[in-house]
Structure 1
Amino acid sequence: MTEISMTVNGKTVSGNVQGNTLLSAFLREDLRLTGTHIGCDTSQCGACVVHVNGEAVKSCTMFALEAAGTEVGTIEGQANGDGSLNVIQQAFQDHHGLQCGFCTPGMVMSAASLLKDNPKPTESEVREYLEGNICRCTGYHNIVKAIMAASGQDVSAIAAE
């Protein structure tokens, strides 16, 4: 076991991990931050996306040891300081960008990364960016609409599906 520490959602945390402990497992099992979902453990679905030093990372592809000393952001850290939904989360709610909710944390974290790098993406840019995230329920249309709305763009002309 190796002791590691990192900053998660603005708080310094530490724990003992084995060399093969995935970041997703450390977040969920050791820190009890269960918003980071495990869908495939093979980097296919994107349900486990978190931010490591500001970059979107599939946490099932990174060892917890690799994250030692980094700043990690999870879905639990996305809300506003008063606990209300941030603009992306609110847009997902307003535009029905979720159904079962399993992929939602990864989608929100990916959307936050996209909008940080590209504040006004086109529909095709959003769809391309989300290629690493799988949703089995929504057909992506309302997820794309929610992300575009979160960017401040007028989505009233986009028909609901």
Structure 2
Amino acid sequence: MPYSLKPLPCLHLMLIATIAAGAFVAAGPAAADPQELKMIEHATTDAVTDTGAKGDSAGDILTFANEVFDADDKTKIGTDQGHCIRTVPGKTWECFWTLTLDKGQITVEGPFNDTGDSLFAITGGTGEFAGAQGEMALSAYGTKGDAYTFIYKVK
């Protein structure tokens, strides 16, 4: 009988280790909080090409290549460039652009609303942002209509 009891602690330890490992796998690694990047875009190069009916109409193209500044709007930290296609005249554009910073690039895509805030999907990146996911919130900055606050929440 004593001989048959000796393997039991070893079996018991294996069972505990298996349960602990299973719990770790089920829980997965702890999800890191998204990295938040806040900046101000100066929309100085925006240009609309009228492609369809005269005036604001579906299919018009908005192109831009603008400077981007820190959250205090004092120091240039990068640039962005992209394009939008008018989808709903007077209301919405569908946009795609690339933000370029010293540490890499971040791409976004989604609807830009003529009024109010907009929310974009982060679709990828390069450098320190390789494989980036998350979202980017855009809102008007100031009252002139020529600057925007960008808040990137990068996972």
- TM-score class normalised by the smaller sequence: under 0.3
Specify which structure has the bigger relative contact order, considering alpha-carbon pairs within 8 angstroms and separated by 6 or more residues. 1
